[in-house]
Amino acid sequence: MENFRLTIKKRIYFFILLSVIMVAGIIMLAAFGRANDGFNATSGILGAVLAIALGNVITAKIALGNEAKLKEMYIKYTDERSAQITKEASTTTFRVILLGLSAATIIANFLSETVSCTLSVCLAFIFMVYIAVSSYYNRKM
C-alpha cells in the first residue's frame, strides 16, 4: 500500500502540472488568441481538461487522508479487468484515430495544403510515438 501511496502522490503532481498548463493555455488564448477574441472552442476543451485534472487532484488528496478510500481506490486502480478494458479501449481508439486521420489527410489534400500537411505531420508523429513505445515495451517484457 505504501507503493500505491507513492503512485497517488506522483499522480497528484502530474495532474497539478496538467492544471498549470491548462490554466496557462486558457490565459494565453484569452489574452492573445486570434479566433473569437481569444475565447474559442479550444479554451472550452482546455477548461474541461482542467476540471478533470482538478477533480483527480481532489479525489487523490481525499484518498491519501482516508485509509478506507485509499483501499477502495487501490482496488479500482489495480483491478485487472478494468486494466484489460482500458487496454482494449485504447487499442480500438488508436485504430479509429488512425483510420480517421488517414481519411482526413487524404480529403484535406483536395481542400487545403496547410491542413493536409498538418494532418500528415500528426500521422507521422503518431507512428513515431507508436514505434518508440512498442520498442520500449519489447525490451521491457
Partner 1 sequence: MKNKIQELRKARKVTQQELADALSVTRQTIISLENGKYNASLTLAHKAAQFFGVTIEELFIFEGEENL
| Nearest distance, CB of residue 87 and partner 1, angstroms | 12
Residue from 34, 81, 139, 140 in contact with partner 1 (CB under 8 A): 81
Q: Three-state secondary structure along 94-137?
A: HHHHHHHHHHHHHHHHHHCHHHHHHHHHHHHHHHHHHHHHHHHH
Give dist(CA 70, CA 118) in Å, integer: 43
DSSP conformational letter for 10: H
| Closest CB to partner 1 among residues 14, 77 | 77
| Nearest distance, CB of residue 75 and partner 1, angstroms | 6
For 136, phi then psi, to 5°, come to: -65, -50
| Closest CB to partner 1 among residues 30, 75 | 75
Give dist(CA 80, CA 117) in Å, integer: 40
The answer to whether the beta carbons of residues 5 and 30 sit under 8 Å apart is no
Residue from 45, 61, 79, 94 in contact with partner 1 (CB under 8 A): 79
Residue from 82, 86, 90, 135 in contact with partner 1 (CB under 8 A): 82
| Closest CB to partner 1 among residues 92, 135 | 92
| Nearest distance, CB of residue 9 and partner 1, angstroms | 20
Q: Which three cell numbers stand for residue 59?
A: 479525489
Region from 29-37, 51-59, 78-86, 104-112 binding partner 1, contact rule CB under 8 A: 78-86
Binding residues for partner 1, rule: CB under 8 A, are 74-76, 78-82, 84
